[in-house]
Chains A and B, each alone.
Chain A
Amino acid sequence: MDASLPLLVAVPLLGAALLVAGGRLMPRLVAETVGCAVSAGTAALALVLLLNCSPPFLEWAGGWTPVDGQSVGIVLTGDGPGLGMAALASLLTLAALAYSWHYFDEPPRGHAGSFPALLLLFQGGMCGFAIAGDLFNAFVWFELMSVVAYALTGHRVEEARAVQGALTFAVVTSLGAYAMLMGIGLLYARTGQLGMHQIGRGLDAHGRPDALVLAAFVLVMTALLVKSASVPFHFWLPDAHAVAPTPVCMLLSGVMVELGVFGVWRVYGTVFSGPGGVPAPEFERALVVLGALTAVIGAVMCWYQRHIKRLLAYSTVAHTGLFLIGIGVLKPEADDGIALYVLGHAGVKAALFACTGILLDRYGSVDEHALYGRARELKGVAVLFVLGALGLAGLPPFGTALGKSVTEEAVGGPLTVLYVAASAVTAAAVLRVAARVFGGLGPRPEGGSGYETTGSGERPETRHRLSRIPDTMTAVPAVLLAGAVTVGVAPGFAKVVAHSVNETGSAGVFTSVHWTPAGVLLGLLSTLLAGALALLAVTRPKPFTALDRALWLRRLQSGHVGDYVAWVLVGTTVLGALTLPGMLGG
């Protein structure tokens, strides 16, 4: 069983190679079916490994096991969280391939396999990052995943915006990755090891943390926080999501951003959590501050968008903030809650993007104002969209609600208010869009600050504008939403997730995870709040448009790559400043 761990990476890579090599000869349907089959096979493998991963297994690639505690080999870790993320990435890739099956924009002649091949490469990179047990390989998979993501974001190279968004994404994330490599170099200089566990032990053996540990921590975390789009590292994300093809958005928002959060959790837990690493209060302060900032700014910016894909992108930013707070408080219950929240969020968010894709392909626009009342005929899509919004708000029994309520109970205090508020505002924005676009409710929206990306006049991603919605495009969001509900209601599922997270993360402290009356009430409360806010915004739009208090915030999102790089540097400095005090006194 252990030896099949590298197959998680090898199968998608080989599938991609096959599609690249044979794509010229294959008809389009064959190429896409092969893509689906390979990603489904990998997903099945990941699930089988996940069910058998207790106790977690290690795999030294090529048999390069450590000698006298010194290792030069590549280690893969097959534990619950890692394999869970790999399975999630594989399943979402399958969903994205199924969604784009046959109907996605005609590829150039002789390149039928290029898009599925890129998605498989993306899947391989994400699986590799999820199961990487040493830091340098985590960097290599991080880069593979990123490079493919840049290419996929700019997939429609004929579009002016697409290439601009892809370039911004590429520059900012690559800069982060190089910072991570600097950090890895420093850690190697101190410990002579690359395996995460081995580095952690080496740091502990060296004694109290010093400037080198702090610098390495800040540099490695910068890359992971850029990937997870934490404020102020988040600027690339809305631009990339606005221009990426819909199936790619499903993957970017559903799992790639969460892999950044997972990376923060994994790297802190195995490398920096010992006595020679970063003290827990410092890590907690840094992540809770950044997470709260991310949740607030993400929610506010989400509210002010009219470009539906950007709106969903900012909602991802807000939820990332909630994830970061959850892992930042370093409680086993919060880790369990976040694991469930990520699973539920992936289903809900991917389904929302899928519905938006249908709008884009049918009406050639993703602008809330231009689409006002035009999608009345799409009853089924409207139901899916509203269900997605309710899942985002945390309506029981969605998995998002279960994860959120468990986390809320763990973090406690004012942070609970933030959880309720952020999920209510992001869901309210989505509900507002649903009411206007699918229902034509309220007065016709008008105006805007002028300083925004509207999303009208986009080219559909299908060959022609769709006159009939293909079954695959509606079945995929329906299945994804069903999956998000299953996370919340399947008996014993939450316990299994909690068990596998605790087995790796919290040194044998097992917690039980279940619905509580308080959690259900909080979920209902945030759903009600979301509904009320959406209703208010639709029926009385004047006070919302007249007082554009967030204009200064929106001006920061300038689309200028130099600004974003400067913000990354500011963020790195802030992260260092938040972590520094305890290191001085400690």
Chain B
Amino acid sequence: MDVFPYLVAGWVFLVGCYGLATSRNLIHAVGCLSVCQAGTYVLLLTVGYRDGATAPVFSDLKPGSRPVVDPVVQALTLTDVVVGATVTALLLALVVQISKRHGTVDPDELSELRG
């Protein structure tokens, strides 16, 4: 198996982390978290990939006639997408509230909780 997609997955995850750590805007930070999550999608789909295989839908396919990709990781990825949508929605809602209450979405200016 080619190692390249795994490196891409790790790279995407780390890029997201870098963005989170240096972000100056909370909406951007939430986007970066989604980038991290995209790294997990890439990894999961890479794990299930098979050369020359088709989608694991057996409505018009005789079982055993062709190689298919691993449906388990696709199910995992779909679950992950659902989880991610929830988290992102909740985070963006929190950012909206932060913007209303603090009047800013710059994490550098949020200094009420410290020490």
Give A residues with C-beta under 8 Å from B: 72, 136, 140, 143, 147, 150-151, 154, 157-161, 163-168, 170-171, 174-175, 178-179, 181-182, 184-186, 188-189, 194, 238-239, 242-243, 304-305, 449, 451-453, 554-555, 557-563, 565-566, 569
Is chain B's binding surface mostly helix, strand, loop or mixed?
Answer: helix
Closest to B72 in A: A72
User: Do A559 and B20 contact each other (CB < 8 Å), given the known contacts A151-B90, A160-B102, A178-B13?
Assistant: no
Q: Is B110 touching A164 in the complex (CB atoms < 8 A)?
A: yes
Complex Cα distance, B105 from A522, in Å, reads: 50
Q: Is B36 touching A154 in the complex (CB atoms < 8 A)?
A: no
Q: Is B94 touching A150 in the complex (CB atoms < 8 A)?
A: yes
Q: Verify if B69 is at the interface (C-beta below 8 Å from A).
A: no
Number of inter-chain CB pairs below 8 Å: 138
Q: Verify if B15 is at the interface (C-beta below 8 Å from A).
A: no
Chain B residues within 8 Å of A174, by CB: 33, 87, 91
Chain A residues within 8 Å of B115, by CB: 304-305, 449, 451-453, 554-555, 557
Q: Verify if B97 is at the interface (C-beta below 8 Å from A).
A: yes
- Among the listed B17, B22, B98, B108, which residue makes an inter-chain contact with A175, where contact means beta carbons less than 8 Å apart? B17
B17, B112, B113: most-surrounded residue (chain A CB, <10 A): B113
Closest to B23 in A: A562
B:40-89 near A, CB below 8 Å: 40, 43-44, 47, 72-73, 76, 79-80, 83, 86-87
Closest to B10 in A: A182
Complex Cα distance, B80 from A341, in Å, reads: 35
Could you name 20 residue pairs across A and B whose Cβ atoms are closer than 8 Å?
A165-B113, A167-B91, A171-B91, A174-B33, A178-B40, A182-B40, A184-B76, A185-B47, A185-B73, A188-B72, A189-B47, A239-B113, A453-B113, A554-B114, A554-B115, A559-B111, A560-B108, A562-B107, A565-B20, A566-B21
Closest to A194 in B: B72
Chain A residues within 8 Å of B114, by CB: 451-453, 554, 557-559
B20, B47, B112, B115: most-surrounded residue (chain A CB, <10 A): B115
Q: Is A175 touching B39 in the complex (CB atoms < 8 A)?
A: no
- Among the listed A154, A158, A189, A558, which residue makes an inter-chain contact with B94, where contact means beta carbons less than 8 Å apart? A154
Q: 18 more A-B contacts (CB under 8 A) besides A160-B101, A451-B114, A453-B115?
A: A147-B83, A159-B101, A164-B102, A166-B94, A167-B94, A174-B87, A175-B20, A181-B40, A185-B43, A185-B44, A305-B115, A452-B114, A554-B115, A558-B114, A561-B107, A562-B22, A562-B107, A565-B21
Closest to A150 in B: B90
Q: Is A157 touching B21 in the complex (CB atoms < 8 A)?
A: no
Looking at the assembled complex, report how far the CB atom of A134 sits from the nearest CB atom of chain B, in whole angstroms.
11
Chain A residues within 8 Å of B110, by CB: 164, 559-560
User: Do A178 and B37 contact each other (CB < 8 Å), given the known contacts A147-B87, A160-B102, A566-B21?
Assistant: yes
